[in-house]
A = this chain, B = another copy of it.
């Protein structure tokens, strides 16, 4: 059994409207020093696999087919045996 942690980010060249919106809110709160806010996803799950390479294959399939949008997002993941 492995614990997977996935970070999904929009590619740097792609605008992040959610980040822009939150930053406008920050200015209204008086937080004028925060800049370049980008909002991504942090996903945790367990993978029931005997060895790491099987788990990696499963995580890659989960990320590329369901969790991340391959057109505009990049993902990276970490596997930890539990």
* Chain A interfacial positions (CB closer than 8 Å to B): 4, 7-9, 19, 22-23, 25-26, 29, 31, 33-49, 58-59, 61-62, 65-67
What are some 29 contacts across the A-B interface (CB < 8 A)? A7-B42, A9-B44, A19-B43, A22-B66, A25-B66, A26-B66, A29-B61, A29-B65, A31-B58, A31-B62, A31-B66, A33-B47, A33-B58, A34-B58, A34-B59, A34-B62, A35-B45, A35-B46, A35-B47, A36-B45, A36-B46, A37-B43, A38-B44, A38-B45, A39-B41, A40-B42, A40-B44, A41-B41, A41-B42
CA of A41 to CA of B31, assembled, Å: 20
Q: Chain B contacts of A34 at CB under 8 A? A: 4, 45-48, 58-59, 62
